[in-house]
Amino acid sequence: MNVKRSLLFVLFSIVLAVCLAIPASLLLSAAQQTPPVPKELQVKPRHEVTVAVKLVQVYVTDKSGQPAGDLTAEDFEIYDNNKPVPVLHFEKHFSDELAAAPETAPRPSLNRKFFLFFDLAFTDARGLMRAKNAALKFMEKSLLPTDEISLVTYTALRGLTLHEYMTRDHARVRHIIENFGLKSVTGRAESLSSFFYSDTLMSLQSDQIEGTPDESFFTEQARLQTGRMLDTTRRQGYADQARFYLEAMNNLAKVLRTVPGYKNIILFSAGLAKQLLFGRTGGAVVGDWSNPEQLAAQLAEYDAAQADSGLRSDFTRLLKELKNSNCAVFTVDISRVHKEMNVEDAGGAMPGARELDGADSLKQLASETGGKFYANTINPENAMEEIVNTTKNFYILGFKVDESWDGKYHKVKVKVKKKGYKVYSQAGYFNPRPFKQYNNFEKLLHLLEISLTEDPWPYVPVEIPVASLNLVERGWPMALTFARATGSDLTEVFGPKTEAYLLLFNEQGELALIKKFRAVVTEKEKKENDAFLPSFLLPVKPGRYECVLVMRNMDTGRSARGRAAIEIPGQLPVMPYLDPLLLLRLDDRAKEINATGEPTLASIYGYNPGTYSAVAGEVPPETRKLYAAVRLACPAGWEEGLEIKAVLARGGGAVAGPEAGGGGSEESQKLRVAVLDKKREGQLVKLLLELETGELEAGDYQVKLDVSGSNFAQPLTATSLFSIK
């Protein structure tokens, strides 16, 4: 199992030698003083062996069963594959300390993770209401701001649905739960998953679909989620539904291997009938018979009393996958106290309720994964409070590992040297695997990680600057969003199988729009260029949005991402008007990337991409001149005799017009403006300007442009923000 925040001790052999020469006590002392591992020291995914610190969450109770909060690093022993390893990292996170100083409490290196899992295939409407109320209570009970919540449902018609994934937006999760059964509220992970399912199905031909169980599961999920398969007759049988349900849970458990730390799954379910998994109590005896009809009846009764060996095998495999993935399952039985269901025939005679009770399956899920079972006679809301209290006090221990990309499993055992303590810790971890070995369901989860979560793992994305401009194009309000990707870390991001995604989130945090194109960058192009600029141009409804641009290499798994805000006004501007400025720099080693047939940045703004490239908010420190591309919408002839003025201000705040100040102020200065190019395309005049800034210090800036002419009632204004690192 990998972790999000891994401490890199060795980059080169000399660093390794120095680190190993440092006494362990000093390393431990430093870890105790600054628990969170700095993000800049995270291990970047490379397919060779690296030396890192593996972090594990540990729960300890004393003789009375209460959380033990008096332990230090010296009290613990750790075994990796039965080999003792020293404790090199130590954190203690207890609720009392957090309550005393919530503002200054350090953020855990491993956050608490809760998966709220609603099994709606084996639950009636009353059970759903109990689960819904309990989950809402859970969202109110002492959740920490750092707790990551995932929301999952399973239904017979849609299969497994990830509504929200590893989010700290607790209000968003609560909103979706509140609307269960009332109206459809689509989660961000659900929207992105549906897009991925649909896109993958479009790219696959029927003869290209692999016949492995994992790929068959993904393909069926994709068809269910996108409405391309609705085979109700196939799903009428209880045993068939149980089989699909276990298959979905097995696949979910497997992909959670890469998620670090404990995953606390709160499963709201009525469970699977005891008769199918464990057989009927007492069974049936084939004994005296006097005619073939009696023998046939006895054999039929005997067969009906036996457990379904296939389902039992699937259930056993699920227990193993959950333990391997360090998933503790807290099962909440939301069935009726008196069972009223018949797995053979819903309209037939009712067999014994005990044989159809699903409590035994829920008990085994809980007991074998380190969770807890809550019977249907217990108020689910009380169970939620207990789950929060059970998981809120924990330690985080770190030990050195040689982390290779071979996917192998390591057993972990944590002990307390003192007697009288009981330790609950993750059973082990998986080394990461090369991305090429991921199946489609794992690639989906990886996309959710890099797009929606703050700290994805194990393929940590490179953060890149992104800019988003609101334009009017072909009479429509448009969002032009682009990124500027530079640096050696991006070598593996761009290639012949790179994907570019743009996600727009509205003010309610909903995923309002998704667009994707497949980018192709050859090895020759990577050698010839120092920067790549993927861009999207698309119509957007009025409103405020957060734009997230993601690049992902489908060969290596390496990714890059960035975000920017944009506001699309409610009304189109009236001519004459200026579109937002696009800042440029002199650059002949940058390649623009966009979808086939879509306009490039250079064609939209009318500059030469062989000489200039766009700036996404960050300007090089050696800059002495800025270049700006301007789009002026005006009637023919109005562009003659234009007067253009520019002012530069520190801090990115409001800038007074050129007539109001400038020149002598330390906060703002007038810039010399030269028009390098001017051309008309329809109703647009495209200008290329040179703005002489002189030497600039590091900081944030805003440039304001005023354009006036003899036909203009008043000057037109456009601004742009940038920073110098």
Residues 6+ apart with CB under 8 A from 35: 89, 90, 91, 106, 108, 109, 396
Categorize the per-residue pLDDT at 652 as very low, low, confident or very high, splitting at 50, 70 and 90: low
Look at residue 317 and tell me whether its pLDDT is greater than 60. yes
Structure tokens at 129: 């209401």
Structure tokens at 123: 């639950």
* Cβ contact 503:548 at 8 Å: yes
Categorize the per-residue pLDDT at 51 as very low, low, confident or very high, splitting at 50, 70 and 90: low
Q: How many angstroms separate the Cα of 196 from the Cα of each of 219, 360, 501?
A: 11, 37, 11
* Cβ contact 623:696 at 8 Å: yes
**Could you tell me which of 388, 449, 153, 146 has the C-alpha nearest to residue 264?**
388
Look at residue 233 and tell me whether its pLDDT is greater than 70. no
Reported as a single tens digit per residue, the pLDDT across 12-33 is 232 333 333 333 333 333 333 3
Residue-by-residue DSSP string for 627-655:
EEEEEEE--TTTTTT-EEEEEEEETT---
Distance CA 381, CA 604 (A): 57
Q: Which residue, chain included where needed, has tokens 């056993």?
A: 316
Distance CA 308, CA 239 (A): 8
- Name the class of domain 113-280+293-391: alpha beta
Categorize the per-residue pLDDT at 379 as very low, low, confident or very high, splitting at 50, 70 and 90: confident
Distance CA 38, CA 389 (A): 29
Question: Can you give the three-state secondary structure of 166-198, one letter per residue?
Answer: EECCHHHHHHHHHCCCCCCCCCHHHHHHHHHHH
Residues 6+ apart with CB under 8 A from 107: 36, 146
Let me know how many helices (H) and strands (E) the chain has, helices first: 17, 34
CATH of 617-725 among 1.10.3720.10, 2.40.30.200, 2.60.40.10, 3.40.250.10: 2.60.40.10
Q: How many angstroms separate the Cα of 33 from the Cα of each of 21, 27, 86, 397?
A: 20, 10, 18, 14
List the domain boundaries for the chain.
Answer: 13-108+393-426, 113-280+293-391, 461-575+591-599, 617-725
Which of 278-287, 529-538, 670-679 has the least mean pLDDT? Answer: 278-287
Same fold, 461-575+591-599 and 617-725: yes
pTM of the model: 0.81
Question: Taking residues 134-141, what's their average pLDDT?
Answer: 88
Categorize the per-residue pLDDT at 353 as very low, low, confident or very high, splitting at 50, 70 and 90: very low
Cβ count near 682 (within 10 Å): 8
**Could you tell me which of 7, 102, 112 has the C-alpha nearest to residue 57?**
112
Q: How many angstroms separate the Cα of 416 from the Cα of each of 89, 91, 427?
A: 16, 15, 15
Which of 74-88, 105-119, 189-203, 298-312 has the least mean pLDDT? Answer: 298-312
Mark out the alpha helices in 256-340 (DSSP H runs).
274-278, 292-305, 309-324
Look at residue 542 and tell me whether its pLDDT is greater than 60. yes
Can you give the pLDDT at residue 665? 42
The three-state secondary structure class of 588 is: coil
Which of 101-110, 339-348, 552-561, 608-617 has the least mean pLDDT? Answer: 339-348
Task: Report the CATH number of the 461-575+591-599 domain.
Answer: 2.60.40.2160
DSSP letter assigned to residue 261: S
**Could you tell me which of 490, 725, 462 has the C-alpha nearest to residue 615?**
725
Residue-by-residue DSSP string for 672-694:
EEEEEEEEEETTEEEEEEEEE--
Question: Taking residues 260-281, what's their average pLDDT?
Answer: 84
Can you give the pLDDT at residue 529? 93
The three-state secondary structure class of 79 is: strand
Q: How many CA atoms lie within 13 A of 365 on its CB side?
A: 32
Categorize the per-residue pLDDT at 296 as very low, low, confident or very high, splitting at 50, 70 and 90: low
Question: Residue 361: in which H helix or E strand, if any?
Answer: helix 359-369
